[in-house]
Structure 1
Amino acid sequence: MKSDAFGRFHPAVCFLYFVGAIGFGVVIQHPAYAAAGCIGAACYYLVLRGRAAWKRVLSLLPIFALLSVINPLFNTAGSRVLFFVFGRPYTWEALCYGMAIAAVFVVMMLWFSCYNLVMTSDKFTSLFGNLIPALSLLLVMVLRMIPSFLRKASQIQHARQSIGKSVGEGSRISEKIRHGMTVLSALTDWALEGSVVTADSMRARGYGTARRTNFQIYRMTAADWTLLVLIVLLAAAVLLAGGTAAAYTPVLSIEPLTWGFAAYCLYVLIPTALHVKEAVLWRISISKI
């Protein structure tokens, strides 16, 4: 992950920003807001991952198209019928609703990917470790569970392959199922043993019995307070301005945009704008040497 300007702000500011970005992305299904959310999240993910992010971003496009096309097959509500599939109407309104739902899914995938890269376990526990020590530890373990499981599953498969117990392309389905169950069993044993070791280790260290210290001390600075005020003002503007409602079925009804849309665009582009500002200042400082 590249070092970015937004990720160096106080964890409370970053956490509040992601809460707002993810909350707006889930609640607001207006097509303009959904498009702006996708662009803002994709830009920030590209800032964090660089060229490696293009594969992830582009892989979401087929998912978006698939979810959009599938929805009218189950939801037949709508007044404008495009054609019939097995005697069921395929409506324009249902297709638009499917696109809105797919956009929400894409926005969530991108924002949560950015969240996992910015809000590390140390930042999360520094915020909630003293308030809810047990729950904060549980959330950190859950958030890191899937990446850890994928890495461990790959290690187990490579270990079985090195001793000649892997399956090839010509293997039978029963052999592939047996191989998968073996890997899953080993992965489950590793996860259960790891949870017991983690619990014993944290209990031996007295976790949750007293106020904990952090590996890194975070203090609110003037820049943090300024960004926090900006985030709150932009979020309030989006909520108060209106123009975010959109109904797709049975009749398509989308409210016209207001000045709140401009506030939302500024909100989702804050991390990218901070990175661009820092890059420009860095270029200027280099040119003066």
Structure 2
Amino acid sequence: MTTMAQESATAATAATDGIRRDELAAFLRSRRERITPEQVGLPRGRRRRTPGLRREEVAQLAAVGVTWYTWLEQARDIHVSTQVLDAIARALLLDRSERQHLFALSGAVDPNPGSQCTGVTPALRLMLEQLEPFPACLQNSRFDILAYNRTYGRLLCDLEAVPPEDRNCLWLSLTHADWRASMVEPEETIRVMAAKLRAAMAEHLAEPTWKALLKRCQDASPEFREVWARHEVLRPGDKVKVFRQAQVGTLRVTGTNLWTGPRSGPKLHVYTPADDETHERLERLHTLVLAEV
């Protein structure tokens, strides 16, 4: 290779690396700004002007230097170890796709490619357990099921038998036979979920995880494609739902959402009985689940 060709190749590589660092910096800022202090156990304070977390708070959570993390968000040319990337992914509560994107932009190989930093704290897991026999789960605005208690795990299907990457309420409503059979009005439920997804997605149009879920559902379900094309929009709300539970029969429950951060972020979703018969059947379901442990 001639000297001129070598210089050209070096310049091209440098330009590519610069673009990659700019993308990494923008990605880190966007993830930082979407997280509230409450989601990671930090006090909000009275004078907070920064949307989401401050840089020093991310550095604190990831146990890295503030200056070093700031350089990352400034697209400086610095080396990033996989251990530090893992810590940052956890501090920013990245899901599996976002984590993969972080490592790809950093030019590094993820040592734990299956990891997903859901932000489910021990306190939230304890809350889920204490809500039994009422079914409850932690869910994000994309309908991913981040965590759930034992009653919820048997409400519509055996969630433990579902691969973690498929634990999404919309995806299961479209593709899982047992889940769909438990829905009294599957067509209406899917219409409402599609409308809620469209409303929530307005703030995440360019994000890979949202686009991947949408494409996956469209590819798998002509029904979903038809509903999505209507461009209906709904915001989350509480209502009475009816399910056919395979072991205990019909359940009439009220769904209540308790947001753990901003209204568009993760929420604690709880089903409480709408009548005495449902209350008794939920207790029976809980007993059956405990007997299997």
TM norm. shorter chain > 0.5 = no
Greater strand content: 2
Q: Classify the TM-score, shorter chain.
A: under 0.3
Instruction: Compare CA radii of gyration and give the structure with the larger one.
Output: 1
TM-score by length of 2: 0.24
Greater helix content: 1
